[in-house]
Structure 1
């Protein structure tokens, strides 16, 4: 039988007793790992590995040293920081729920960056699901802000924030792990059919820009822009200086510019500072012709180690093509191995992260998983040129995207 997903009724209202039990087990394991790297004393390790409260010692000149049992919340800050740096995002939620002290001090230190998870919803009932393709575990969170009479659609994610449309005209950005919501002005109805939409930085940042693009042919594009603090969207129309067919994947904000991948493999660039749109002459298009087969091809643009990658995926019977933009010569270079990088691709959000272990490197994960008791994330190995598990018979949620969990609004 598959294990039941962890259910969190809300981020702040978690079951405290369960949190303490879970944290006790997790911290004991982490303590052992820290001792292996000589970051923790033998006495502390011995106490914690048996699930006991840490013994805080006091002494004076005349009295023999004695131990006093204290709760977990009395752990010294430097030890708490060591633990927090090794917790998964789920355990961080447990961590913050243990006591007020731990919840308040967690803002004062940097925790590790979490691997992407697949976020998906089953409707507008407030239930939000997360699937971790690395360990195959699933979780669900009840989020009041995602309960709506209007249909909700996930559009884009960045820095733990998710852009969501509600009905035909409304948009808001939410951090599902803190439940902080930023409402955006309503869109103009005639400009809603974007082929791509993204934002530059967390919506709490004063320099946040939300950028939507669309177009029905290769001769023009329309763009809608919202800046932090604006009361309305700015709608813009541009003639293309070169043929450019906007594809259904989201733009990438890279070095101050929004880059858009066309169906030919060429790039369009929007500069939000001077409000200019340009179809670049270089790199040259990867495809000279876009036939019906090419129109059905999935294509993705992703930032990886400060560079841009384009990925083209026709069908499961053909190898995936990956290209890296050589900015010195402004040309696409074919990539055969991603090294230590792992890609998480979908048309809404594509991410590149350092693989947690060597064997996870040079993989491309897709928003699909095996539909059996031992759920596994579907990935393509650049080294073997094969899908694992087999591509057929897998499940893809209708409304999903990749997200890097963040329990802080300003990351």
Structure 2
């Protein structure tokens, strides 16, 4: 190529580059200049993770995204695969029927997961033997106090009595209380975020199941001998007062049947859901639903034949939640979405999680996920996304 032709070539390239840059600027400014009512309509048709991506496009879209996340509530997703050390998480959304992967690149490595609280995973640190909260969607982290007593190192159920993040300042909410339970423990572990240590509460000689909920300013849990414990917290040092109510359930159970009980709170009612599994098949075959009826001096469980047609129940050892299907798209009414209830630990023989959708009226069970579970053998966890 002669020097003259080379000079012409470079001018043409510069002109082309400038033209492309102008076209790109026009294109970008066209998208960013869309009226807010148009972008709001777009956002209203997106799932949660797509909304996160939408907010990262430009400044004007981020303002629309900020408003959308405040006015919209998102339905639970199922966390079906995760590598705690590497920080990779696989979610399935029922809203848009999509699998989404999130990689936080091992910034918060962990060795154990004690379930979820709304949008937060409860994880155990690999080096300091303390637990922390992690929002896998934003990477936000909130630490619990260090475990101050030997043997208190395997939480199997954790609940939050308030949001761990202050909505206004986006910083840790030091008024948030945390209640943790060990499997078959006779005590509760309680702290306030920012405390130096956990407050261990001995509640007698009863062993508790993994079910633990916060309902109408009190903590409810079930003991292994069929008692409902109602626990109130009071005072700056979080002292507890507790009383029990015998839970009577008339269930005829054969030798091949295993029973699991879960507490589920809604705005006005407390439910107990009993899961019936056939041991020989390692399979769930039925659910029973009971509502707690409280009268002065009398607590009893009343059998409910159905859930409301406009409601669905997400049920699992680590998180259970009753939701409205009119508010969340893509769900079946009067149905129980159930996940596996085994502990988060590897077994010698791989046992793939059991998940499904139980239609309460018909008693039929259909697949919960539209793909084969192999090789995902970790227990599934319900998590409700938010930022």
TM range (shorter): 0.7 to 0.9
Q: In the alignment, which residue of structure 1 is the partner of 2:384?
A: 404
Alignment of 1:194-233 (within 5 A): 194-204=155-165, 205-214=173-182, 216=184, 221-233=186-198
- Residues 224 and 256 from structure 1, CA distance in 2 versus in 1: closer, same or farther, beyond 3 angstroms? same
- Matching of residue 381 in structure 1 with residue 367 in structure 2: no
1:381 CA drift (Å) = 0.8
Inter-partner Cα distance in structure 2 for 1:157 and 1:261: 19
Contact 2:312 2:331 in 1 (8 A): no
- Matching of residue 76 in structure 1 with residue 40 in structure 2: no
Inter-partner Cα distance in structure 1 for 2:221 and 2:299: 15
| SS of corresponding position for 2:75 | coil
What stretches of structure 2 of length at least 5 have no aligned partner? 1-25, 166-172, 278-282, 341-353
- Matching of residue 285 in structure 1 with residue 263 in structure 2: no
Of structures 1 and 2, the larger Rg is shown by 2
Count how many residue pairs are aligned between Structure 1 and Structure 2: 323
Inter-partner Cα distance in structure 1 for 2:365 and 2:133: 34
1:163 CA drift (Å) = 1.5
1:227 CA drift (Å) = 0.2
CA deviations 1:323-374 (Å, max 9, x no partner) are 1112345211111111121111110111111124697101111226xxxxxx
- Matching of residue 344 in structure 1 with residue 311 in structure 2: no
* Equivalent position to 1:301, from 231, 239, 263: 263
Inter-partner Cα distance in structure 2 for 1:69 and 1:141: 27
Contact 2:145 2:193 in 1 (8 A): no
| SS of corresponding position for 1:230 | coil
- Matching of residue 189 in structure 1 with residue 158 in structure 2: no
- Residues 383 and 269 from structure 1, CA distance in 2 versus in 1: closer, same or farther, beyond 3 angstroms? same
Inter-partner Cα distance in structure 2 for 1:358 and 1:252: 27
Inter-partner Cα distance in structure 1 for 2:160 and 2:331: 32
Inter-partner Cα distance in structure 2 for 1:258 and 1:236: 13
- Matching of residue 367 in structure 1 with residue 367 in structure 2: no
Q: In the alignment, which residue of structure 1 is the partner of 2:119?
A: 160
Inter-partner Cα distance in structure 2 for 1:143 and 1:310: 36
- Residues 134 and 88 from structure 1, CA distance in 2 versus in 1: closer, same or farther, beyond 3 angstroms? closer
Alignment of 1:4-403 (within 5 A): 70-109=29-68, 110-119=70-79, 120-133=81-94, 136-145=97-106, 148=109, 151=111, 153-167=112-126, 169-187=129-147, 188-204=149-165, 205-214=173-182, 216=184, 221-239=186-204, 244-249=206-211, 251-274=212-235, 275-281=239-245, 284-286=247-249, 296-315=258-277, 316=283, 318-328=285-295, 330-339=299-308, 340-355=310-325, 356=328, 360-367=332-339, 378-389=356-367, 397-403=377-383
Inter-partner Cα distance in structure 2 for 1:155 and 1:99: 37
1:300 CA drift (Å) = 1.3
What stretches of structure 1 of length at least 5 have no aligned partner? 1-54, 56-67, 369-375
Inter-partner Cα distance in structure 2 for 1:175 and 1:317: 31
CA deviations 1:248-276 (Å, max 9, x no partner) are 33x11112222112334432122222522
RMSD: 3.4
Contact 1:84 1:111 in 2 (8 A): no
Contact 2:229 2:244 in 1 (8 A): yes
1:96 CA drift (Å) = 0.7
- Residues 198 and 289 from structure 1, CA distance in 2 versus in 1: closer, same or farther, beyond 3 angstroms? farther
